A = this chain, B = another copy of it.
Amino acid sequence: MNHRNPQSTRPQPAPVPDVGQPASGPLTREELQLAARNHSMPLEALRREVTPPGLHYVLTHFDIPDQDVSSWRLRIGGAVGRAMELGMAALRRDPAITVPVTLECAGNGRSLLEPRPLSQPWVMEAVGTAHWTGVPLAYLLGRAGVLPGAVEVVFTGADAGIQGGVPQRYARSLPIREALRPDVVLAYKMNGADLPPQHGYPLRLVVPGWYGMASVKWLESIHVATAPFTGYQQQVAYRYQSSADDDGTPVSRIRVRSLMVPPGIPDFFTRRRFLRAGPVMLEGRAWSGEGAVTAVEVGIDGTWLPAHLDKPAGGFAWRRWSLPWVADRGEHVLACRATDITGATQPLEQNWNFQGMGNNVVQRVNVTVE
């Protein structure tokens, strides 16, 4: 087995989506191990427009690589006029942009599904928004000179492992038209500081509007391809499938979603919320990778009310919403539901799929008002 370059654009063996059939049974040891490694964003961090490292969600398929920036190089090759190899000092001399981007894991909400696909068991907090600074990918592709016939760009990270029986380094592709968008960035800073190790140090891709799997971390190689990429993370993982036998469709842009800061104080174990009667500001954030969020409704015991929307920080950054509520004593169920400019709105019931992708079901919060 060759751990360094196990993938190519050659067809893979028959797809083996992760670990077999979804389960109706209890959480497994393997899922707990993944939950211990991969971090979600505590919902109270929704109060912050920008999510600090350590609160932003992190999903690492394999291990976090130790990267030595003095020997690290980014290779750009394939169907380009001028293949290049760049160190970090050279990249920092290139023009830089900063984009505020909400990233969400495509598997967010997976553990809520029934039956439950066996993978990272996110509840609903696999999200975060950061300001990413770096070189526009389009600028570097322009310097390299994309040749006619290019259809995709393949991004490969330093992180290596085995998934679905396939040894691999984490790799994903983007269609050439997406790769040439002006806001797709090769980021070396997060919120103004060097990338933390777990966010891809020293360099990662950030693709605004797409689920997080597209934003390849620990980036080492950019390959302009003349045929669609068939690596595991493209052809097998990250697909909307109805069953193991269904080829399905690729996961791409983030479906519209909103989340609420649970009001009041929690019970440690159940996380049930307790609140004193009286006025309280319900608030949260909403986002969509398809375009602007146009409305958020707040459900209070089944009655939907329109929330106030603040301006978003950018085209693919979340938007704060708020609604004052006068809480009266008793048990209440709160919910929030966003709609985007395409008319898409969050479902009230789960949309199940075989890999547990894109579950943007409405969040519900049980509150005891005393």
Given contacts A1-B370, A36-B125, contact A274 B162 (CB under 8 A): yes
Contact B40 A265 (CB under 8 A): no
Tally of chain A residues near chain B (CB < 8 A): 61
How far is B58's CA from A53's CA once the two chains are assembled, in angstroms? 13
- Determine whether A329 belongs to the interface, using a CB cutoff of 8 Å to chain B: no
Query: How many copies of the shown chain assemble into the complex?
Result: 2
Contact B265 A54 (CB under 8 A): no
CB nearest to A20 among chain B residues: B269
- Determine whether A249 belongs to the interface, using a CB cutoff of 8 Å to chain B: no
- Determine whether A294 belongs to the interface, using a CB cutoff of 8 Å to chain B: no
Contact A63 B42 (CB under 8 A): yes
Contact B162 A266 (CB under 8 A): yes
Which residues A10-44 have CB closer than 8 A to chain B? 18-19, 25-27, 30-37, 39-40, 42, 44
- Determine whether A276 belongs to the interface, using a CB cutoff of 8 Å to chain B: yes
Q: Find chain B residues with CB under 8 A from A61 CB.
A: 268
CB nearest to A39 among chain B residues: B39
Contact B66 A162 (CB under 8 A): no
**What 1/0 flags go to A114-158 for Cβ under 8 Å of B?**
000011011101000000000000000000000000000000000
Q: Find chain B residues with CB under 8 A from A119 CB.
A: 269
Q: Find chain B residues with CB under 8 A from A268 CB.
A: 18, 61-62, 161-164
Contact A42 B60 (CB under 8 A): yes
Contact B32 A111 (CB under 8 A): yes
Q: Find chain B residues with CB under 8 A from A161 CB.
A: 265-268
Contact A27 B30 (CB under 8 A): no
CB nearest to A262 among chain B residues: B63
Contact B60 A19 (CB under 8 A): no
Give the contacting residue for A196; candidates B54, B66, B118; CB below 8 A. Answer: B54
How far is B42's CA from A61's CA once the two chains are assembled, in angstroms? 12
Q: Find chain B residues with CB under 8 A from A164 CB.
A: 268
